[in-house]
Amino acid sequence: MIAALICVISIAAFLQFFVSHCRSILAASRNIELSERVREVTGVAGPNISAEDFHRLLQLVRLCPEQSDDQVDIRAVGTYYSILRALSSFCSKLIPSASAWADQERQKCSYFAAVALDRRISYSRDLLVQQTVERL
């Protein structure tokens, strides 16, 4: 019984840390403005990105060369997005305010994916310039 209680408390503490970590990643990305090339590639016209665009943006991120420093954050936010999607669908009829909060968080996840795409596109352009300079 004590072992089960310790396990439950450990899982709850891990989830609290994980959610805090993911929300800090999302908060940092909200301060970054998207470039025009990312808006053009993604088809985003306005300032907001839909929560449903996350998987499409993540596929575009995976097409770009990887940067070693963002892979862990992308995976963490992807897991967080999946948890939020399940929470949103579960709470949609029972607790509408929790569902609305989860949708807002999912929208932040989509914006993070767009920022990650912007970084990777910039990284790809820098690699191309570097290779071009080395050939000369």
| pLDDT tens digits along 55-93 | 999 998 888 877 767 889 999 999 999 999 998 888 878
Question: Residue 64's pLDDT is what?
Answer: 81
Burial 93-123 (b: 16+ CB within 10 A, else e): eeeeeebeebbebbbbbbbbbbbbbbbbbee
Question: Residue 113's pLDDT is what?
Answer: 92
Can you tell me the mean pLDDT for 108-136? 84
Question: Residue 136's pLDDT is what?
Answer: 67
How many domains is the chain partitioned into structurally?
Answer: 1
Burial of 35 (0-12, 13-18, 19+ CB in 10 A): middle
pTM metric for this prediction: 0.86
Question: Residue 95's pLDDT is what?
Answer: 86
**Cα–Cα dist 112/133, whole Å:** 32
CB 110 within 8 A of CB 53: yes
Segments forming the whole domain that contains residue 59 = 2-135
